[in-house]
């Protein structure tokens, strides 16, 4: 059961192949690296990252509906190729009225023209692209600011380590 301090981190099609799929575009980090980065960053703000990945559009929509039902604090979404095609994902994000940030690992505007338009970006209050997996960290920091979550003073923001006495 998600609590109000939970953010859903939703990854769409082919993101399960991170690290091996087109590393010249997406880098060498894998999905487990992304999930650890998200968990560590969320924890710095007293939040929990509930990370999910699906290659199926309907399952991503179900995750968005679940985030609403469980009163999640926010959504970080990298809908992958569905960003450019899915009105249904757009509609689900709009319907739940949860602060959402869209993330893309690559700079979608420097790629093929069909990637330049994003339906999910229109449903999010912010969109990040081109920062590699660090975009997820930046998205969580921005989402934390949007929802009023403050950094935990017991955690060092850069290393996620307790400060030395």
Helices 134-147 & 31-43 angle (0-180, nearest 10): 30
Query: Is 82 part of the annotated catalytic residue set?
Result: no
Burial 112-147 (b: 16+ CB within 10 A, else e): eeebeebbbbebbeebbbebebbbbbbbbbbbbeeb
Question: How many Å separate Cα 95 from the centre of its chain?
Answer: 18
Q: Which of 8, 82, 90, 104 is catalytic?
A: 104
Q: Which of 26, 82, 90, 136 is catalytic?
A: 26
CA-CA-CA-CA dihedral for 144, 150, 155, 157, to nearest 10: 60
Task: List the beta bridge partners of residue 75.
Answer: 8, 100
Query: Is 104 part of the annotated catalytic residue set?
Result: yes
Active site amino acids: 26, 104
């Amino acid at each position: 059961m998600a609590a109000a301090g939970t953010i859903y981190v939703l990854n769409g099609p082919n993101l399960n192949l991170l690290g091996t799929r087109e590393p010249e575009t997406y880098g060498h980090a894998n999905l487990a690296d992304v999930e650890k980065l998200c968990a560590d960053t969320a924890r710095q703000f007293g939040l929990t990252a509930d990370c999910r990945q699906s290659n199926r559009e309907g399952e991503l929509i179900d995750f968005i509906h679940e985030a609403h039902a469980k009163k999640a604090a926010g959504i970080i979404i990298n809908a992958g190729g569905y960003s450019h095609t899915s009105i249904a994902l757009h509609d689900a994000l709009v319907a739940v009225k949860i602060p959402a940030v869209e993330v893309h690992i690559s700079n979608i505007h420097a790629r093929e023209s069909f990637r330049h338009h994003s339906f999910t970006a229109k449903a999010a209050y912010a969109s990040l692209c081109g920062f590699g997996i660090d975009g997820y960290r930046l998205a969580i920091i921005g989402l934390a600011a949007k929802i009023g979550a403050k950094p935990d003073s017991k955690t060092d923001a850069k290393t996620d380590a307790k400060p030395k006495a």
